[in-house]
Amino acid sequence: MMWTGLSPFQQRLLDQLAIPAPKVPVQVCAGETLSVRRTADGWHVALPQESLVGRAAVLLAENADAAEGFCLEETPAFHRLGVLLDCSRNAVPRPETLRRLLRILCRMGYQTVQLYMEDVYELEGYPYFGYGRGRYTCDELRALDEYAAGLGIELVPAIQTLAHLGQALKWRAMKPLVDTGDILLIDSPAVTDFITAMFRTMRRCFSTKRINIGMDEAHMVGLGRYLDEHGYTNRTELMLRHFRLVHDIAVEHGFAPMLWSDMFFRLAAGGEYYAPKAGIDPSVAASIPDDTTLIYWDYYSLDPAIYDGMLDAHAKLCPRTLFAGGAWKWSGFAPCNRFSFRLTDLAAPACRRHHVQEVLITMWGDNGAECSPFAVLPALQYWAEHNYASEVDEAALKRRFSLCTGGDWDQLLLADEMVFTPDNPAPGRMAVNATKTLLYQDLLLPLCSTGMDLEGYSAQLDKLLPRLQAAAQEGEWKTLLSEQAALCAVLRDKSRLTARLHAAWQAKDRAALAALASRELPALRAVCAEFSRAFRRRWLEENRAAGLDVFDIRIGGLLRRIEVAAQLLRDWLDGRIDTIEELDTTPLPFDPAEAEKGHLDVGVSYWHEIATPCSMVNI
């Protein structure tokens, strides 16, 4: 059906989104709010921003059968709503994956996307920067920038110019740039050249005038090679001097920088970050240039007073502050959408109260990027609805989600249920994700489940599994849901068998141990291998191959340890060994302080801490 009043840009945008067309004429005009109104002669649509025609088309499709007189009006709370996608923790999304995500975000009503790239872009003169990591070429980034612009989305580079550069700096060719660990050597001419090359590349690849320069969590700055060469130097002055250098290089290349606020906030508030009542040093506030924006990031706080206090403090520090929340996908293989909803219900109203102009939803991928970004689409939709309405209509939310993503809201939330152990009911605790700890912990010496009701968790998953399998039969997200179903099967079986193995060993139940060795553990290995195949299919559909080797190494270790467990049981049953030392070890809680609170299911971020108590990555 005919749309009238569209600009050529809006017409091209709608052609890209392929949203079902209204059956009656649509008249589009500019307006202060986004509104769709059904009249006798069709639909009248008012748009405060050209690119919101995508969200308007979703609203029309959602209300296609509305009667004359129907009117839906939305007033965005934020001038910009954006997403940050982590491309640096092994999963480098294929360009088509990014285009798919951009289309979905346009339908939801997002206006910006930041690509977090520590070392996953080509950098002329530095061949080891991003070597073997699936880095993007300049041509690819330029094409993505152009595609995003066609959807009305600003593509913003998010880079690092001080710390978080460990993958690049580990190479011997890069050692002249290192202060300590993942931190650059401040005041080094070679580092100045290195950072200049970064901005030269970003200017060639992106049309935006904004750039995220990172500079967060550089806790050890000045305490490595810099200390050896210059002696102890006031680290506040070091940080500010380096910031001024990076700022000036950014401006020379036509960028207005933004950075994570913890650097300036800690300087201004006496070293603390989440310190809502801290006084702000006015001299630090005065050092922030007028063209610079700070990013207050909070993915954790469950107290509304913290958001209010921190936003008040940031207003004193820098009037140009945006808020960054989180769509929790970085603590395991399954998403934590419901925990993200809980945080959104606190953060979004606080941002409204404090008239925050821009909100950024981060999708980090810590320690292997095991969870698909598409698994947290519900969290992104939820933030979008908080932007466009003060209260979220759940029925409308589900219909809208289907039109924006092609998926079913309830089906995409099924994977969350794997996070909810008997010890960690919905919406879950921060960073607690059994899909990682219970998958990777050892059968013989499990570190992360002491005292947990593993049999109860297995019974929960036994009920969940057929629902996931049914959801995975067809549809837009078949590959993702198939992977999650395969994961559910592993966790169900491994949790049950871990409990049975240790109980049988304590009782010296030879019949049960023989059954484990001959049938049950080999069957578990087969289920784990099937999950490995499902994960690989999903990964390669979304991401480049780089980084998948890390999963292969980790899951390969798990498969081998299952074989070893079965062999040790056979050896003991046949009298070839006197005991199995791991099974004789008295289990301790991973976190005794949490255990005292009754929290037995704990959040552990790193594979090497989950898999073994022995040295895996250190000398």
CATH classification at residue 424: 1.20.120.670
3-state SS class at 173: helix
**Whether 444 and 550 share a structural domain:** yes
Structural domain total, the chain: 3
Give, for 98, the enclosing helix (H) or strand (E): helix 95-108
Query: Count of alpha carbons within 13 Å of 398, Cβ hemisphere only?
Result: 8
What's phi and psi for 3, nearest 5 deg?
-100, 140
Q: How high does pLDDT run on average in the chain?
A: 97
Q: In this predicted model, what pLDDT tens digit does every residue of 1-19 receive, in sequence order?
A: 589 999 999 999 999 999 9
Q: In this predicted model, what pLDDT tens digit does every residue of 74-113 receive, in sequence order?
A: 999 999 999 999 999 999 999 999 999 999 999 999 999 9
**Whether 110 and 59 share a structural domain:** no
**Whether 57 and 110 share a structural domain:** no
Question: Residue 38: is its pLDDT beyond 70?
Answer: yes
Structure confidence at residue 401 as a pLDDT band (50, 70, 90): very high
**Whether 301 and 373 share a structural domain:** yes
Beta bridge partners of 74: 34
**Whether 364 and 484 share a structural domain:** no
- Residue 495 in any domain: the answer is yes
Task: Give 264 or 256, the one with higher predicted confidence.
Answer: 256
Please, what is the angle between helix 138-150 and helix 189-205, to 10°? 50
Query: What does the pLDDT average to over 126-139?
Result: 99
- Residue 274 in any domain: the answer is yes
Q: In this predicted model, what pLDDT tens digit does every residue of 508-557 receive, in sequence order?
A: 999 999 999 999 999 999 999 999 999 999 999 999 999 999 999 999 99
* Residue 107, token pair as written in the block: 């339908």
- Residue 296 confidence (pLDDT): 98
**Whether 406 and 418 share a structural domain:** no
Of 378, 412, 446, the residue at which a domain comes to its end is 412
- Residue 537 in any domain: the answer is yes
Q: In this predicted model, what pLDDT tens digit does every residue of 426-464 receive, in sequence order?
A: 999 999 999 999 999 999 999 999 999 999 999 999 999
Domain containing residue 494: 414-611
Distance CA 365, CA 372 (A): 9
- Residue 616 in any domain: the answer is no
What's phi and psi for 496, nearest 5 deg?
-65, -45
- Residue 286 in any domain: the answer is yes
Query: What does the pLDDT average to over 169-193?
Result: 98
**Whether 42 and 91 share a structural domain:** no
- Residue 123 confidence (pLDDT): 98
- Residue 17 confidence (pLDDT): 96
435 and 336 in contact (C-beta within 8 Å)? no
Beta bridge partners of 211: 257
Q: Can you say how many angstroms the Cα of residue 296 is from the centroid of all Cα atoms in its chain?
A: 17
Question: Of 86-95, 279-288, 392-401, 534-543, which gets the smallest average pLDDT?
Answer: 279-288
**What are the distances in angstroms from CA 344 to CA 7, 107, 116, 133, 466?**
34, 20, 22, 33, 30
Of 412, 440, 468, the residue at which a domain comes to its end is 412
3-state SS class at 115: strand
**Whether 229 and 375 share a structural domain:** yes
Distance CA 423, CA 124 (A): 51
- Residue 189 in any domain: the answer is yes
- Residue 90 in any domain: the answer is yes
- Residue 475 in any domain: the answer is yes
Q: Which pTM was predicted?
A: 0.97
550 and 543 in contact (C-beta within 8 Å)? no
- Residue 270 confidence (pLDDT): 85
Query: What does the pLDDT average to over 492-501?
Result: 99
Question: Residue 140: is its pLDDT beyond 80?
Answer: yes
Q: In this predicted model, what pLDDT tens digit does every residue of 551-585 receive, in sequence order?
A: 999 999 999 999 999 999 999 999 999 999 999 99
Quickly tell me which residue has 């939330």 as its tokens: 413
Query: What does the pLDDT average to over 588-595?
Result: 95
**Whether 352 and 441 share a structural domain:** no
Its sign, for the CA torsion 427, 469, 374, 160, is: positive
- Residue 252 confidence (pLDDT): 99
**Whether 247 and 357 share a structural domain:** yes
**Whether 272 and 381 share a structural domain:** yes
- Residue 12 confidence (pLDDT): 96
* Residue 162, token pair as written in the block: 């001080």
**Whether 354 and 374 share a structural domain:** yes
Query: Count of alpha carbons within 13 Å of 3, Cβ hemisphere only?
Result: 22
